[in-house]
Structure 1
Amino acid sequence: MMFTKVEHQRNGLDLIKIDNDETKIVFTNYGARIVTWKYEDNIIVLGNVVEADEFYQDNPYYFGASVGRYAGRIADGKFTLDGQTYQLEQNDPPNHLHGGSNGIDHRYFDYEIIDENGGYIQIIFTTVIKEADDHYPGDIKLKIVHTYDIDNRWTIEYYAESDQTTLFNPTNHVYFNLNRDNKEVDNHYFTSEKLGMHLLNEQNLPDARTPLDLVDLFDKHKIRLTEIFESEAPQLKAQIDKYNGLDHPFSIGEELVIENSQFLLKMQTDMPNVVVFTFNDTSEWDSDMNIYKPHSGFTLEAQSLPNDINIQGKDAPSILQNDRAFYSRTTYQIIEKL
């Protein structure tokens, strides 16, 4: 049996709590984000329920947030579309990051809850991103649907329409950790038919180089994070040493499976890339609520390649034409090992 409860905190922040006995998952209207996900007494998503009204307002790490209108970096905050050049906020100097300081992660969404006792519960978040908000061309009508079902599957769907041709590259910045007590995630295994790691340049941006094939490099499909972090392969080692872990887009197969000794986390997406960030530096946030250490979580951000507009030009997947609707779907499912 599944049921929903809404808790109203301060500052207009609502917590939407879904319980199906075995698991609990919580979302909020602030940033249309996931707050926590628990399997029995195991917390597998990083966040803060008790102090949510303070925790999410202040921290710089985008915990569980919907990110947009463009996830990732755009080189020098600049791009050209249909012959016109646009200059965006350079909030990650010299680059533009995650839609800027006025991105949707800081926005209060309208929402409605759909609970028809059909084995799932949906939260439909809606907003309008105005050109004046972030200085991209066009206004976007955006709907983000979070669905949770009795099979412990969390699905994110994005629906968007723009009144001008623009860029749209949304993601969710959820941090997972299948270990107890936020212990380092280095023991997690990543498995997929394809694990192509896009290398980053001096500006922390992917470029046109061929992705590093980790399946070929390690000669197997199931790779432990420790193996990646401790590899002596020159290209990989240089990247890991620079970032103290991963902060890289990947091209994956039809499914990506992450596991430790107790849980499997299965991910499927129709987006072309997944950014894996292993929370490499947790020192930027000076707060008593910052209980995190490096590698205490990892993201699986389904999106188009960051800076794709400056790499692929008119063929960039992030281009949203004004006469076309955008749709994308990503699922995460948690399974306990027997």
Structure 2
Amino acid sequence: MGDKTSAKFLSLGAIIQEFNVDGQNIVQGFTTKEAYEKHNSPWFGANIGRVANRIKDGVIQTLNGQQYQLELNDPPNALHGGSCGWGRCEFDGPTVLTRDGKTTLLYTYLSRDGEAGYPGTVELRVYYTTSEEVENGKTTSVLKIEYEAELVGDECNETVINVTNHSYFNINGGPTTEGTIAKLSTQDYLPLENGIPLGPIEPYPSEVTKEFTFGPQNQFDDVFIMERDLSRVPLDTRGEPLRLLAEFQHADTRLHLQVHSTEPAFQFYTGQGIDVPETDGKPSRGPFAGFCIEPSRFVNAVNEPGWRHTVILPKGKKYGSTIVYKAWRE
């Protein structure tokens, strides 16, 4: 890793606390663990599970031949694994490893059977690798996340899992992300009602595959689709090609950000619900203080027959996915 790139992590939620690019931290966060415990209602930097996003009515309709009722922490639905989801749990680590010739930090969490209403004991492994790439004289800061999970208990034959990272990016360094220029790699999205898909994939109403500028008139909290044919999506997507999901830039800082993943979908959220008080030497953060790209499987996949194979983790199999953030200053 070179001198233009660094990152900091917490064992709480295996949170990404900082991602520094050419001297500028581009993710929202706090300076202490206590501040995260008290004020992190937006899930800054957290790894989300056991199931990211929403499950309709908080009900897993069928799993292990039965129905499971989850906490309705986002009425009328379950959200982000519950109010005490993985993003608010203490992970073991970091353990320093070498993967693909690069120094990697490993955080692990053992989620017990029945935790937040979910069946089966699951071990989640989160691998962080920070590096630099130099191309045509330009240094790019790279932060790679690799997820791996297994059903390690004998309580049941299968469980459900869908993990993502909930980092909020701000590449202009101001109180809001206004003026950030964005471009998504897909026009396909899932129309939602109360955060749950209404039906089939449709084209997004405005053009998002051409550059547009952040501002109050451009608010997003939508699920965009990279792979329409879920029969092609395995439980472990790490062997799939990395695809560019979205890219961002800001003229004032000359910073650029790209988000890549192996996942079939992503939630794009412009942070209009952020409401964090001044604390611990950090200023208050309000609406639009950061934006999220959350790569994952489809929302409520466990309850949709054509989607559920992507989130059902049987005994003896592995769930996996990869997210890569690339950032640089022109």
When normalised by structure 1's length, the TM-score is: 0.80
Aligned counterpart in structure 1 of residue 196 of structure 2, from 195, 205, 214:
205
Partner of 1:334: 327
Aligned counterpart in structure 2 of residue 136 of structure 1, from 109, 112, 118:
118
Q: What amino acid does structure 1 have at the position aligned with 2:131? A: D
Q: What SS is found at the alignment partner of 2:211?
A: strand
Map 1:225-264; keep pairs closer than 5 Å: 225-226=213-214, 230=217, 245-252=219-226, 254-255=243-244, 256-261=246-251, 262-264=254-256
Cα distance, 1:199 vs structure 2: 1.8
Q: What amino acid does structure 2 have at the position aligned with 1:57? A: E
Cα distance, 1:316 vs structure 2: 4.4
- Residue by residue over 1:228-286, the C-alpha shift from the partner in whole angstroms, topping out at 9 and shown as x without a partner, is x64xxxxxxxxx7xxxx211111138313222221221221111111111111233x45
1:113/1:121 contact within 8 Å kept: no
Q: What amino acid does structure 1 have at the position aligned with 2:36? A: Y
Cα distance, 1:128 vs structure 2: 1.0
Map 1:237-316; keep pairs closer than 5 Å: 245-252=219-226, 254-255=243-244, 256-261=246-251, 262-283=254-275, 285=276, 288=279, 291-312=284-305, 315-316=308-309
Q: What SS is found at the alignment partner of 2:302?
A: helix
Cα separation, partners in 2 of 1:119 and 1:23, compared to 1, 3 Å: farther
Q: What SS is found at the alignment partner of 1:309?
A: helix
Cα distance, 1:211 vs structure 2: 2.7
Q: What amino acid does structure 1 have at the position aligned with 2:195? A: N
Aligned counterpart in structure 2 of residue 196 of structure 1, from 188, 209, 217:
188
Which structure has the highest helix share of the two?
1
- Residue by residue over 1:149-175, the C-alpha shift from the partner in whole angstroms, topping out at 9 and shown as x without a partner, is 123211111111114311100011000
Partner of 2:38: 58
1:186/1:224 contact within 8 Å kept: no
Q: What amino acid does structure 2 have at the position aligned with 1:190? A: K
Cα distance, 1:318 vs structure 2: 1.3
Aligned counterpart in structure 1 of residue 78 of structure 2, from 96, 107, 116:
96
Q: What amino acid does structure 2 have at the position aligned with 1:277? A: Y
Partner of 1:169: 162
1:86 and 1:326 map into 2 onto residues whose CA distance is: 21
| Identical counterparts, % of pairs | 28
Cα distance, 1:117 vs structure 2: 11
Cα distance, 1:111 vs structure 2: 1.3
1:81 and 1:118 map into 2 onto residues whose CA distance is: 39
Structure with more relative contact order (C-alpha pairs < 8 Å, separation 6 or more): 2
Q: What amino acid does structure 2 have at the position aligned with 1:247? A: D
Q: What amino acid does structure 2 have at the position aligned with 1:168? A: I
Structure 2: unaligned runs, 5 residues or longer: 134-140, 228-242
1:312 and 1:335 map into 2 onto residues whose CA distance is: 41
How many residue pairs get aligned? The number is: 297
Cα distance, 1:301 vs structure 2: 0.7
2:271/2:288 contact within 8 Å kept: yes
2:274/2:287 contact within 8 Å kept: yes
2:71 and 2:97 map into 1 onto residues whose CA distance is: 40
Partner of 1:234: none
Q: What amino acid does structure 2 have at the position aligned with 1:176? A: F
Cα separation, partners in 2 of 1:117 and 1:226, compared to 1, 3 Å: closer
* RMSD over equivalenced CA pairs, Å: 2.4
1:208/1:311 contact within 8 Å kept: no
Cα distance, 1:112 vs structure 2: 3.4
Structure 1: unaligned runs, 5 residues or longer: 3-19, 231-239
1:21 and 1:56 map into 2 onto residues whose CA distance is: 28
Q: What amino acid does structure 2 have at the position aligned with 1:206? A: P
